Amino acid sequence: MSTFSFPVPQPMQLIDRVIDQALADQRLVGAVVLVARDGELVYQRAAGSADREAGRMMQADALFRLASVSKPIVSVAALVLVAQGRLALDAGIERWLPDFRPCLPDGGVASLTVRQLLSHTAGLGYRFFEADENGPYARAGVSDGMNQSAFSLAENLRRLASVPLLYPPGSNWGYSLATDVLGAVIEQVCGQPLAKAVRELVTGPLGMDDTGFVARDASRLAAAYVNDAPSPRRMRELDIVPAFEGTVGIRYAPARALDETAFASGGAGMVGSAGDVLRLLEVLRQGGAPLLPAALVQEMGRDQTGGRELPNAPGFGFGLGFSVLRDPAAAASPESPGTWRWGGAYGHAWFVDGARGLSVVALTNTLYEGMSGRFVADVRDAVYGIDRLEPRA
């Protein structure tokens, strides 16, 4: 239910309609949606089921497998180290990871920088983008950070470094395991495991007590579902679900969220609540204190791609940890230029429109509807007061 003691303004009624429609259409099993305007929480709703089979309803404090919503959290941790003078954006990472030296496409040895890792311009890729199991990442046994891996982060980086880069660093853009490499850099700089470092650098100072690399309270963890007809199916213990046509698919192991022995994947391995995600986004929207100086937050929101288009995302570039809207007309979006946006494969989306003082978080337990389906655009439009839903009979 919406948490208002006063008449709900029209955009908020539209968000209710969007959520209700997605549940009625069986495109979603459950969701938590939060909207903050100028620092005030103006909309909060938990709807549907956290665990359909167990009859457990969604609660506002539900825990979710964050997938790539992990990336801005770990990216901020790296930038805190930059602010402290312990890392430099444009210095090579070989000081911290001397053995991580992947070859260039022409056979030379590459030097990667923190900026290239943060902006996904380092030349790395993801196994799930490959067309089949004969791809180089598959042959090397690289983990994307969401499967049940029995090896360490160091071993995953060894496997990753054995595969040549897709392009020379800085010459292109490609979504990738770069944030996992960044996590290993953070470990070396801090001299401690990534989970502890992120806690000390980001989640602890902000009171993000629900957020970590393991779900501390299994009773609050939402089950994971996969879009299917006529209704979403529960994710299997080991599942492969293609995210894009012509790709081999993402390897999922939902129990990883409860496995303290799984390596900490900086790009995909965190667990958290919608409230914690909103807290971090609001800190960044308001300038970064107490974590970051405003200048570094501005750098996060500056397009780092050299004007390149993101695949299947016209009008968007990429900053340091999330995408940046360059051209609302090309994106067919009501959002303001400079809006930050990203999501997660388990079914999540969020955006920050700084020009309008808006931060919006929509975490669901249904992939991929909650990441890239109709629900994402419908929530966005509803926040801006745009009603694209068909009239009810």
Task: Kindly report the three-state secondary structure assignment for every residue of 301-352.
Answer: CCCCCCCCCECCECCEEECCCCEEECCHHHHCCCCCCCCEEEEECCCEEEEE
Exposed/middle/buried for residue 253 (C-beta within 10 Å: 0-12, 13-18, 19+)? middle
* Measured distance CA(329)–CA(120) in Å, rounded: 24
Q: Locate 334 and state its tokens.
A: 């009501």
68 is a catalytic site residue: yes
Angle at Cα 98 formed by Cα 261 and Cα 194, nearest 5°?
30
Say which amino acid occupies 74: V
Say which amino acid occupies 269: G
Of 137, 363, 366, nearest to 249 by C-alpha is 137
2, 49, 68, 231: which is the annotated catalytic residue?
A: 68
CA–CA distance from 32 to each of 45, 265, 312, 349, 388 (Å)?
6, 24, 26, 11, 21
**DSSP secondary structure string for all residues of 134-176:** TSHHHHHT---SSS---S-HHHHHHHHHTSPPSS-TTSS----
Q: Is 248 helix (H, G, I), strand (E, B) or coil?
A: coil
Q: Locate 352 and state its tokens.
A: 């920050």
Place of tokens 């943060």: 118
Active site residues: 68
